[in-house]
Amino acid sequence: MSINSVGIFCAASESIASEYAAQAQEVGTLIGRMRLTMVYGGAAAGLMEQTAQAARNAGAHIIGVVPKILEQRNRVSCLLDERVVTDNLSDRKDNILSRSDLLVALPGGIGTLDEIFHVLAAATIGYHCKPVVLYATDGFWDDVIAMIRRLKLNGFVRCNVEELLLVARNIYELENILKER
């Protein structure tokens, strides 16, 4: 399977440390340099906008999957090559998943956690076999990784979660994952 499109999950918050913006720009630049399509939530804020801007600057095609409520609040990015409007967040997640070959989770909050677990839950019961890559620079996702390992150890996760949930601790590891898939 070759990767043509990458789904991005990340924060839309404007009140996070600048180091996370630098990571988002790094990932966006990689997506563009590899001439991939970036599929994401389409918001004009936070890491979403930072990733999309870097990806666009580096040559990526940008698809924004936007729930109606973002349109109503005029919070849609102007960087989009394609805009897909959804009724709600559940439809947004399903659309991002269906349009992506692989998903990458940058630092984020409750929404990003919801997106990660939505994709993993669907994979565990056979809807797809697309992995989620946790971009875990500076150990951002380490607690989530430890919790999932504990769930697996105690029998709450029956599938081979190591094939579904990958970890990239730097941009080189992420690039290798994208090239190997």
pLDDT in tens, 91-129: 999 999 999 999 999 999 999 999 999 999 999 889 999
Residue 1, pLDDT above cutoff 80: no
Residue 78's pLDDT band (cuts 50, 70, 90): very high
The tally of domains found in the chain comes to 1
Q: pLDDT per residue over 126-162, tens digit each?
A: 999 999 999 999 999 999 999 999 999 999 988 888 8
Sequence-distant (≥ 6) Cβ neighbours of residue 177 within 8 angstroms: 102, 133, 166, 168
What does pTM read for this prediction? 0.95
The span from the CA of 60 to the CA of 37, in Å, is 6
CATH for 167: 3.40.50.450
Q: Give the structural domain span for 27.
A: 5-180
Task: Count CB-CB contacts under 10 A for residue 75.
Answer: 17
